[in-house]
Structure 1
């Protein structure tokens, strides 16, 4: 492997899936034919989950037979000890069987690679944010707040391509999901379950997900009201953090961001009313942005910046 070559397996761990691919870190691109994804039954045993993860990773490893791999990088949700690679998921909840498990020790023996592959771990929302900033051609956007809107609220505060997780300009660990908001936490409102609750409160009706609302948006005034309130509330929630961080751009990802046409006007109006004129960019990379983003941990310069700042939650 020459000094210019860094090939790393990037892994995105979701609530019910695992996806992996080989990334050419220098070129910031996924290698053709190495991408694979699988469904994960997240309430299964530690052994069953590890077998599913290993099966998926082995498909990527086999597809990359001639590629010299440096390691495996994970974009993985918390709670997690990212420095030590230890899962902290509560027992009885998704991935609860992994509680206190050291992922590298449990997973590496199941992999078909001929040598031990070192593993590094980064929060999934942070990985998405790092990938978005890294892949962005808007070089003038020195400070980016990247949020993911889906089953929960993820966030990454990025300055010059590096996640900022400490200091007065960002919340603790760079997380927004657990910030107090109204009668709960931000995660309760800016997520799929937030939409489900808001629509039920407005109509008394139950829905499964946001897509149902999008599909009926044009014909239902109550749905329009729910989306308007979501955009307005999101703008009000983000305003103080955008100002503290002095962000140059707001990046939206996650499945709910695909419904931007339904709530974007309200979001932009709220930011305008708070004297925030800031460009908003919708991610086109989504999951693959996280896969690429986490592999930066094997870039020596990037790793030197973040290795001692990885959160333990």
Structure 2
């Protein structure tokens, strides 16, 4: 492990996990020997959640063997005050025990570092988008829409490596999940529960996840229809925003994207019909893309461009 470089700890907070690693930001890569991950029961009390987060981070810090770390970047879901580092999760819901907790203030005393490392926060979907755009920088894309399809529907609009969260060409806060769609909002449809519900409505059968639907794809016409409709609906939903943003690439991550072979053809057909024949790239990095992306908050140019636009909800 070379000490010649710039090193930042990246942290990905998911609904049921925390993963962390030291990132060599000059090389744009995770130091794999520092990677640590733990299961988190997100309805546990405050002390249990914080101790799990701290123990995972301490494994990463300990494995860094005294590299000079610049700070800790968190890729963390909302609702969250990203400017002040305050969790706003409703009580009774995931991570509800952290409601109104200033995470950096409470976490720092639990860490084994000899110095107090600065901690900064970025939305998890935004972190994924930033990481994917940064890792694909040499491909020459300037304006990318990066989406995550999994438990929820995340999005990040990236222009020249910087997330765009306001203006006429993007939705408020750069979010798509909460936009009205059909009988609810986009998150109700372009998510794991959306796929499960769609299949149950057609078949009367409740499957456990999209991976099970993908297993049925080869022989089950109803599973085929769910994926075909998913791809077409996703394309029709994204098309106006891809046009407004003048996107030159669509990047996809999240567990549902692993079943791209099942819905990709209908998605591409929908985009073509809407006059948007742009390349679609499936992430090879998944959560590690978010770990890498959130470390950008310690790049001075990046931080200058985002710090005043960080969402507070």
TM bracket, shorter-chain basis: over 0.9
Give CA deviations for 1:20-68 in whole Å, capped at 9, x if unaligned. Answer: 0001112111113000000001001111100000000000011012201
Give the Cα separation in 1 of the matches to 2:241 and 2:179. 11
The runs of at least 4 consecutive aligned structure 1 residues that moved more than 4 Å come to none
Q: What residue is the counterpart of 2:177 in the other structure?
A: 177
Q: What residue is the counterpart of 1:77 in the other structure?
A: 77
Matches within 5 A, 1:103-182: 103-182=103-182
Q: What residue is the counterpart of 2:11 in the other structure?
A: 11
Question: Gapped runs of 5+ residues in structure 2?
Answer: none
Shift of 1:288: 0.5
Shift of 1:137: 4.6
SS, match of residue 232 in structure 1: helix
SS, match of residue 170 in structure 2: coil
Give CA deviations for 1:255-282 in whole Å, capped at 9, x if unaligned. Answer: 1001000000000111111111111000
TM-score of the superposition, structure 1-length normalised? 0.98
Please, what is the CA RMSD of the aligned residues? Answer: 0.9
Give the Cα separation in 2 of the matches to 1:83 and 1:224. 44
Q: What residue is the counterpart of 2:61 in the other structure?
A: 61
Give CA deviations for 1:182-209 in whole Å, capped at 9, x if unaligned. Answer: 0001000000000010001111111110
Aligned length: 310
SS, match of residue 263 in structure 1: helix
Give the Cα separation in 2 of the matches to 1:258 and 1:36. 23
Give the Cα separation in 1 of the matches to 2:160 and 2:132. 12
Shift of 1:111: 0.5
Q: What residue is the counterpart of 2:238 in the other structure?
A: 238
**Greater shift after overlay, 24-33 or 49-58?**
24-33
**Greater shift after overlay, 151-160 or 61-70?**
61-70
Give the Cα separation in 2 of the matches to 1:138 and 1:118. 30
**Greater shift after overlay, 123-132 or 26-35?**
26-35
Give the Cα separation in 2 of the matches to 1:66 and 1:140. 36
Q: What residue is the counterpart of 2:20 in the other structure?
A: 20
SS, match of residue 308 in structure 1: helix
SS, match of residue 219 in structure 1: coil
SS, match of residue 218 in structure 2: helix
Matches within 5 A, 1:84-95: 84-95=84-95
Q: What residue is the counterpart of 2:300 in the other structure?
A: 300
